[in-house]
């Protein structure tokens, strides 16, 4: 039987030997009242015996940096206890501080039961001892690791002068400091937030501009400077070739604007209900609405007078209207780059299959238009959505033209600002 406290406890646990307690040479069933833990018929150790299992965050240079035999045994004894119960039992047994933490309990229990052979924080028995002469010993002192006993005012020092005595912090103070550090919150300012965690590599950007800057510096006074590169021009020139803006509407059957009546509304400035438009199409032999509809409108240049002439009628601008992402996929992988407007009924489920399913993110990238009756009450769901309300009168059809004109003005303003390459010049 090895007299090292940790090995002796491990041997007793692995062999399932009975572990009992002794108080004043008398057996007891209370670990709190006990003074010694009996690990075998021939080995009884004080429960305060220092083991080789070091505490986390310590230098393992003093006895207070190691767990006691009682703390290690209690961690194994309460190995299956819930967290709250384990901490309560530790306090009830006099270990308000110095007990094995819940996160460390599993690893020491597995080592004691022989499930693992090595534990990082168990100091090796082969460590060279530099314990000063005269240090009190216990039965396992011959094989204990490097530990310097805590000095008191009455302890004689035979190796150093009183002015050079090593300071040993109080164990309770150490535990209090640890708890305080665990609750600390790192303060962050605008500089640390902007710094971020992802490293950015701008070498490609530097390579693009370095040659241009070099030529600018070498340009003689009065000479024509070399134009600096304009970001986005290749993309814009590529997009300017036969790419028309796309408008997405809701697929809800209760929406005011559907694939049945959208063309007449936006192209002819006349609103009719979706059911009426569907019946009219069915009578003409078109029982099913198309999934892609094109709309042609004549854009009047801003400089034109209120009375358009033959030279100021503007160009025909084509738009496509879809009501689903399946139809949108027909326009290619970059179709979302061409979407300029999303008409919504205020129902968030409409955006689930979209590229941006969250309304605030969606309407940051496209123009949002909420279509409703003029006499409907305000919809509180859309107040944070960054959308413009488009109100249609239920009865007065003569004002449809002004409503549609307002809609196209919204689309033109947004597109010119955000996606000018989609506007036909």
Cβ atoms 277, 265 nearer than 8 A: no
Cβ atoms 75, 9 nearer than 8 A: no
Between β-strands 339-344 and 315-322, what pairing exists: parallel, antiparallel or unpaired? unpaired
Between β-strands 43-46 and 246-248, what pairing exists: parallel, antiparallel or unpaired? unpaired
CA angle 372–374–377, rounded 5-degree value: 75
Provide block-wise average pLDDT over 10 residues at a time, the chain (425 residues).
79 89 87 88 88 85 87 89 87 84 87 87 64 43 42 44 70 88 79 67 78 79 56 48 82 87 90 87 82 85 47 73 89 88 89 89 91 88 88 90 92 89 75
Instruction: Give φ, ψ of 20 to 5 degrees.
Output: -120, 175
Cα–Cα distance measured from residue 172 to residue 49, given in angstroms and rounded to the nearest whole number:
18
- Residues 6 or more apart in contact with residue 155 via CB below 8 angstroms: none
Residue 223 has a pLDDT of 60
Residue 131 has a pLDDT of 43
> Per DSSP, what are the bridge partners of residue 65?
none
Cβ atoms 158, 134 nearer than 8 A: yes
Cα–Cα distance measured from residue 150 to residue 166, given in angstroms and rounded to the nearest whole number:
9
Give the residue from 45, 2, 50, 3 showing the smallest Cα distance to 21. Answer: 45
Which 3-state string (H, E, C) describes the chain?
Answer: CCCCHHHHHHHHHHCCCCCEEEECCEEECCCCCCCEEEEECCEEEECCCEEEEECCCCCCCCHHHEEEHHHHHHHHHCCCCCHHHHHHHHHHCCCCCCCCCHHHHHHHHHHHCCCCCCCCCECCCCCCCCCCCCCCCCCCHHHCCCCCCCCCCCCCCCCCCHHHCCCCCCHHHHHHHHHHHHCCCCCCCHHHHHHCCCCCCCHHHHHHHHHHHHHHHHCCCCCCCCCCCCCCHHHHHHHCCCCCCEEECCCCCCCCCCCCCHHHHHHHCCCCCHHHHHHHHHHCCCCCCCCEEEEEEEECCCCCCCCCCCCCCCEEEEEEEECCHHHHHHHCCCHHHHEEEEEECCCHHHHCCCCCCCHHHHHHHCEEEEEEECCCCCCHHHCCCCEEEEEECCCCHHHHHHHHHHHHHHHHHHHHHHCHHHCCC
**Which residue carries 């796309």 as its tokens?**
246
Cβ burial of 127 (10 Å; 0-12, 13-18, 19+) is: middle
Q: 9-17 — which CB contacts under 8 Å span 24+ positions? A: 9/39, 9/69, 9/72, 9/73, 9/76, 9/112, 10/111, 10/112, 10/114, 11/39, 11/40, 12/39, 12/40, 13/76, 13/112, 13/113, 14/112, 14/113, 14/114
Cβ atoms 31, 74 nearer than 8 A: yes
- Region of 185 (left: φ > 0; alpha: ψ -120 to 50; beta: rest) is beta
Cα–Cα distance measured from residue 60 to residue 144, given in angstroms and rounded to the nearest whole number:
12
């Amino acid at each position: 039987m090895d007299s090292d406290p940790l090995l002796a406890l491990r041997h007793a646990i692995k062999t399932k030997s009975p572990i009992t307690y002794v108080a004043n040479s008398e057996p007891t069933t209370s670990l709190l009242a006990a003074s010694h833990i009996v690990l075998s018929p021939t080995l009884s150790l004080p429960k305060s015996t220092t083991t080789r299992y070091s505490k986390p965050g310590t230098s393992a240079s003093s006895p207070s940096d190691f767990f006691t035999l009682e703390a290690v045994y209690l961690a194994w004894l309460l190995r299956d206890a819930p967290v709250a119960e384990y901490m309560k039992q530790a306090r009830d047994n006099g270990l308000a501080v110095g007990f094995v933490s819940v996160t460390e309990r599993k690893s020491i229990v597995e080592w004691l039961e022989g499930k693992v052979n090595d534990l990082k924080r168990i100091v090796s028995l082969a460590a060279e001892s530099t314990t000063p002469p005269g240090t009190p010993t216990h039965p396992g002192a011959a094989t204990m690791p490097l530990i310097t006993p805590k000095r008191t005012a009455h302890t004689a020092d035979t190796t150093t002068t009183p002015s050079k005595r090593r300071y040993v912090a109080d164990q309770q103070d150490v535990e209090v400091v640890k708890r305080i550090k665990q609750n600390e919150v790192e303060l962050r300012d605008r500089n640390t937030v902007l710094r971020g965690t992802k490293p950015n590599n701008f070498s490609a950007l530097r390579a693009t501009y370095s040659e241009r800057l070099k030529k600018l510096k070498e340009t003689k006074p009065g000479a024509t400077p070399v134009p600096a590169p304009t970001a986005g021009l290749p993309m814009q020139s590529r997009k300017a070739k036969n790419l028309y803006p796309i408008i997405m509407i809701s697929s809800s059957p209760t929406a005011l604007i559907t694939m049945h009546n959208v063309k007449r509304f936006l192209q002819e400035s006349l609103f009719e209900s979706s059911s009426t438009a569907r019946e009219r199409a069915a009578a003409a032999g078109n029982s099913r609405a198309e999934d892609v509809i094109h709309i042609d409108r004549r854009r009047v240049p801003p400089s034109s007078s209120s009375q358009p002439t033959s030279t100021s009628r503007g160009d025909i601008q084509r738009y496509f209207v879809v009501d689903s992402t399946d139809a949108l996929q027909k326009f290619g992988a970059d179709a979302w780059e061409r979407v300029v407007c999303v008409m919504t009924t205020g129902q968030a489920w409409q955006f689930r299959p979209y590229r941006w399913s969250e309304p605030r993110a969606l309407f940051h990238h496209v123009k949002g238009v909420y279509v409703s009756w003029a006499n409907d009450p305000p919809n509180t769901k859309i107040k944070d959505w960054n959308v413009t309300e488009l109100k249609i009168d239920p009865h007065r059809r003569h004002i449809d033209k002004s409503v549609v004109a307002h809609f196209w003005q919204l689309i033109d303003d947004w597109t010119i600002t955000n996606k000018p390459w989609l506007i036909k010049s």
